[in-house]
Amino acid sequence: MYEAFFRLTGKPFQLNPDPDFFYGSRGHRRAMAYLEYGLHQGEGFIVITGEVGAGKTTLVRNLLRRVPSESVQAAQIVSTQVGADDLLRLVAGSFQIDVAGLDKSALLQRLEAHFRAMHRTGRRALLVVDEAQNLSPRAVEELRMLSNFQEGTRSLVQSFLVGQPEFRAILQRPEMRQLKQRIIASYHLGPLDSAETRAYVEHRLRHVGWRGDPDFSADSLAQVHAVAEGVPRRINTLCDRVLLAAFLAERHDIDRDLIEDVAAELADELGGPAGGAVLAVVPTGAPDEPVGSTGGDREAGAAEPAGAASAAARIALLEARLARLEASSATTYTVLQRVLRVLRASTGALGMHRPADGEGRRRQGEPGDAGNPPVRAVR
Ligand SMILES: Nc1ncnc2c1ncn2[C@@H]1O[C@H](COP(=O)(O)OP(=O)(O)O)[C@@H](O)[C@H]1O
Ligand SMILES: [Mg+2]
């Protein structure tokens, strides 16, 4: 919507993990080096963990582009909470092996035959499992079994496991001992630091033809880093909304106040600390634990209150949700009002639109005007 206003060729802060936008921060470069090292070794497991939005899937997509297809057939699965057999079927599907109707042992045989046939043509298999924290211990065990397929001393299948930080805790369990012995490298992808956040924002902007417009002040970028805590997905969400707000206010400069305003607006809408709700890391039990279990790494206090207290708590929760919903629709209304005004102004300026009597004039008490940020600078 705002791309034309800033003369950009596309949206700079999309949320899809598009490898075209890949920015090699120190952490991302290191993680990539680990993956490439693993690829070079040709066997064993590589584990990459990181918070939601840290850039794991982007990293994997970037890697998959670089895999030499003449020697490696790479396939990726995204693990939802699948059981062990389903996992094998997913793996087969990702390598385009037809296993419909086969029972488990026939399925394993088919997989093995496929990997051996690949080996004869000089290729090996690389399996990338994203969202690995969702794997049940039995599913992990199946992956380990796949790594047992060998030709001479060489493994036919290699796996990269990519997941949220709790995957590390899962790997510490006694039943993971055998898998752990086969991990040749693991790396935790942390957030961007302040300088990297700035470089990241500029990198994404440059990718869509940026020439200094929008103009982020240095302290606005420091504020983006503080609010988003250096997590790329949160940076994207925040910056996308900041550009929308700047467009609606017809300004090209981005200052710290604007970042703060937008962060507060996002927090209001989503009900959480600024930018935090965008990336609420919900504490989850381990995949095979029942929901509500107090074991594992669940945060204290997460358990539901009982009886009447529980009903009251639920009502309070619903009320809070309702309030957030109301605040959110009010914001949407405000945004739409502003869009309408900007569109009217621009079509009016082009002589394309002749408002009827009274149309386009600001009405007293129009809700959309209430939170309109002042226009600070217009180029
Ligand atoms: N190194 C990076 N370069 C460019 N964009 C990135 C990078 N890391 C993350 N992003 C962006 O951040 C968002 C979240 O990244 P994603 O890979 O989906 O995170 P994760 O898989 O860790 O949850 C996406 O919009 C993605 O484009
Ligand atoms: Mg991901």
DSSP string, 220-260: HHHHHHHHHTT-HHHHHHHHHHHHHHHHHTT--EE-HHHHH
212 and 130, same structural domain?
no
Among the candidates 189, 221, 253, a domain finishes at 189
Query: Which helix (DSSP H) or strand (DSSP E) does residue 186 occupy?
Result: strand 183-189
Distance in Å, CA 31 to ligand 2 centroid: 14
pTM for the complete prediction? Answer: 0.73
* 106 pLDDT tier (thresholds 50, 70, 90): very high
Question: What is the identity of the amino acid at 182?
Answer: R
Among the candidates 174, 189, 204, a domain finishes at 189
Range with the largest mean pLDDT of 239-253, 294-308, 364-378:
239-253
208 and 108, same structural domain?
no
Residue 270, pLDDT score: 75
Distance in Å, CA 143 to ligand 2 centroid: 20
15 Cβ inside 6 Å of ligand 1:
yes
Q: For residues 147-184, b (16+ Cβ closer than 10 Å) or e, as one string?
A: bebeeeeebbbbbbbbbbbbbeebbeeeebeebeebbe
Count up the domains in the chain and report the number. Answer: 2
20 Cβ inside 6 Å of ligand 1:
no
Residue 79, pLDDT score: 79
Distance in Å, CA 54 to ligand 2 centroid: 8
Contact 61, 19 (CB under 8 A): yes
Relative orientation angle of helices 256-270 and 218-228, to the nearest 10 degrees: 20
- Choice from 208, 233, 236, 237 to test ligand 1 binding pocket (greatest atom count within 8 A of CB): 233
Q: Is the pLDDT of residue 368 over 50?
A: no
Is 51 within a domain? yes
Q: For residues 290-311, b (16+ Cβ closer than 10 Å) or e, as one string?
A: eeeeeeeebeeeeeeeeeeeee
For the chain, give the mean pLDDT: 80
Which residue puts its alpha carbon closest to atom 15 of ligand 1? 55
Instruction: Compare 280 and 23 and report the one with higher pLDDT.
Output: 23
**Residue 189, strand partner residues:** 50
Distance in Å, CA 56 to ligand 2 centroid: 5
Q: Which of 131, 156, 27 is nearest to 79 (CA)?
A: 131
233 Cβ inside 6 Å of ligand 1:
yes
What values do phi and psi take at 118, rounded to 5?
-60, -45
Contact 254, 216 (CB under 8 A): yes
162 and 63, same structural domain?
yes
* 190 pLDDT tier (thresholds 50, 70, 90): very high
Half-sphere exposure of 168 (CA within 13 A, CB side): 11
Q: What ligand is nearest to the CA atom of residue 134? A: 2
Q: Which of 126, 138, 192 is nearest to 162 (CA)?
A: 126
227 and 131, same structural domain?
no
Which residue puts its alpha carbon closest to atom 9 of ligand 1? 55
Residue 154, pLDDT score: 86
162 and 67, same structural domain?
yes
In the chain, where does DSSP find H-type helix?
26-41, 56-66, 84-94, 104-120, 137-146, 166-171, 177-180, 194-206, 218-228, 232-248, 256-270, 307-349, 367-370
Q: Is the pLDDT of residue 302 over 90?
A: no
Q: What percent of the chain has pLDDT over 70?
A: 73
* 314 pLDDT tier (thresholds 50, 70, 90): low
90 and 77, same structural domain?
yes
Q: What ligand is nearest to the CA atom of residue 61? A: 1
d(CA 127, CA 196): 31
Half-sphere exposure of 191 (CA within 13 A, CB side): 20
Collapsing DSSP to helix, strand or coil, 27 comes out as helix
58 Cβ inside 6 Å of ligand 1:
yes
Section 368-375 average pLDDT: 36
- 67-90 per-position pLDDT tens digit: 998 999 999 999 777 777 788 999
Is 8 within a domain? no
Q: Is the pLDDT of residue 199 over 80?
A: yes
235 and 137, same structural domain?
no
Q: Is the pLDDT of residue 200 over 50?
A: yes
Which residue is associated with the tokens 């950009």? 8
53 Cβ inside 6 Å of ligand 1:
yes
Contact 187, 48 (CB under 8 A): yes
200 and 181, same structural domain?
no
Which residue is associated with the tokens 């990293």? 59
Residue 186, pLDDT score: 94
Contact 178, 144 (CB under 8 A): yes
Among the candidates 160, 189, 218, a domain finishes at 189
Q: Which domain holds residue 48?
A: 26-189
18 Cβ inside 6 Å of ligand 1:
yes
104 and 130, same structural domain?
yes
209 and 65, same structural domain?
no
Residues 6 or more apart from 164 whose CB is under 8 A from it? 49, 50, 51, 52, 131, 133, 281
216 and 364, same structural domain?
yes
Q: What percent of the chain has pLDDT over 90?
A: 61
204 and 58, same structural domain?
no
